[in-house]
C-alpha cells in the first residue's frame, strides 16, 4: 500500500460487513485511523480484528437515532482529535418491511426504508460536518444505480430507489453549499455487488443469468473491494478538485 491516507482520520458507517468493511480495511491499510460505526456489534469487532488496535475505534450505534449519532460522532472526534473523511455505507433493503412497487409498498416499508437509507446519511453528515469543515475534508456517500435509473420487476423496491436518489440530491446540495469552505462531497453509485445485502440476487438463477446484460463489463457481480477502491480515491487528496460527482461502480449498468 502507498499510504494515501497517512495522517488522516476517516469515519466509516456500515463497517460491520460488505462495502463498509472493505472500505474501512482499505482506508486503514492506506494509513488512516478509522472510526467504525455499525449497529451489528459482532461484525464490527470482526472488522476491527483485521486492523491494528491503535488505528481502529469501533462504535456500536443505531444510526437512525439522532442523539445516538451525535454522541457517536462526538466520541470519534474527541478520540482522534480530528476528522478528515466520512464514508457513509450504512443502509439496506426494505423488502422484508414492505418495500416494493409503489402501489404495493406499505407505509411502514416506505418509512423504514427511507429512515435506514436516507435519514442515517443525513444524521451522520449533520453531526460530522463541523469537524470536516475544520479539516477541509471529504464526504463520500453510498447510493445505488437504482437512484439513477429505474428498476424492472427484479429490482422493484421503490422506497429504496427513492432513498438512494435522495442521497444523490443531498450530496450534490452539500457539495454546492460547502465548496467555498473547502469541503468535498461525492457519491458512489454501485451496481450489483457481492455483499450480504445482495444475497437474494446471488441466489436467484434468473438474475445471475441476466448479469451479462446488466453489467456487461464483466458479466458478473462486483466486489466490495471494487467500491472500496473508488471510495479511497474520492477520500484521498488525489480527488482534491472533485466535488458533486456521482461515480458509478456498476460494470456498465447505467450506460445501457
Active-site amino acid positions: 160
Question: What strands, in cross-sheet order, belong to the sheet with 138-142?
Answer: 56-60, 33-38, 9-13, 85-88, 138-142, 184-190, 246-249
Nearest partner of 171 among 129, 109, 233, judged by Cα: 129
Instruction: Report the distance separating Cα 207 and Cα 112, nearest Å.
Output: 26
Give the whole-angstrom CA distance, residue 100 versus residue 156: 6
CA distance 159 to 108: 10
Amino acid at each position: 500500500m502507498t499510504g494515501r491516507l497517512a495522517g488522516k482520520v476517516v469515519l466509516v458507517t456500515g463497517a460491520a460487513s460488505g462495502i463498509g468493511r472493505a472500505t474501512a480495511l482499505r482506508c486503514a491499510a492506506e494509513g488512516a485511523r478509522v472510526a467504525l460505526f455499525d449497529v451489528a456489534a459482532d461484525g464490527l469487532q470482526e472488522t476491527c480484528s483485521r486492523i491494528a488496535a491503535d488505528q481502529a475505534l469501533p462504535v456500536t450505534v443505531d444510526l437512525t437515532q439522532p442523539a445516538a449519532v451525535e454522541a457517536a460522532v462526538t466520541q470519534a472526534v474527541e478520540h482522534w482529535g480530528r476528522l478528515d473523511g466520512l464514508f457513509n455505507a450504512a443502509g439496506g433493503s426494505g423488502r422484508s418491511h414492505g418495500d416494493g412497487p409503489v402501489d404495493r409498498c406499505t407505509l411502514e416499508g416506505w418509512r423504514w426504508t427511507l429512515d435506514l437509507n436516507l435519514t442515517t446519511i443525513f444524521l451522520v453528515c449533520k453531526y460530522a460536518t463541523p469537524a470536516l469543515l475544520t479539516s477541509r475534508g471529504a464526504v463520500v456517500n453510498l447510493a445505488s444505480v437504482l437512484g439513477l435509473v429505474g428498476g424492472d420487476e427484479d429490482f422493484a423496491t421503490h422506497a429504496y430507489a427513492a432513498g438512494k436518489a435522495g442521497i444523490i440530491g443531498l450530496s450534490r446540495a452539500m457539495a454546492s453549499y460547502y465548496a467555498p469552505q473547502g469541503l468535498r462531497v461525492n457519491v458512489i453509485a454501485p451496481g450489483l455487488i457481492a455483499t450480504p445485502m445482495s444475497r437474494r440476487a446471488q441466489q436467484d438463477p434468473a438474475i445471475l443469468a441476466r448479469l451479462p446484460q446488466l453489467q456487461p463489463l464483466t458479466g458478473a457481480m462486483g466486489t466490495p473491494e471494487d467500491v472500496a477502491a473508488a471510495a479511497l480515491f474520492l477520500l484521498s487528496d488525489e480527488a482534491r478538485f472533485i466535488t458533486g460527482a456521482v461515480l458509478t461502480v456498476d460494470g456498465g449498468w447505467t450506460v445501457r
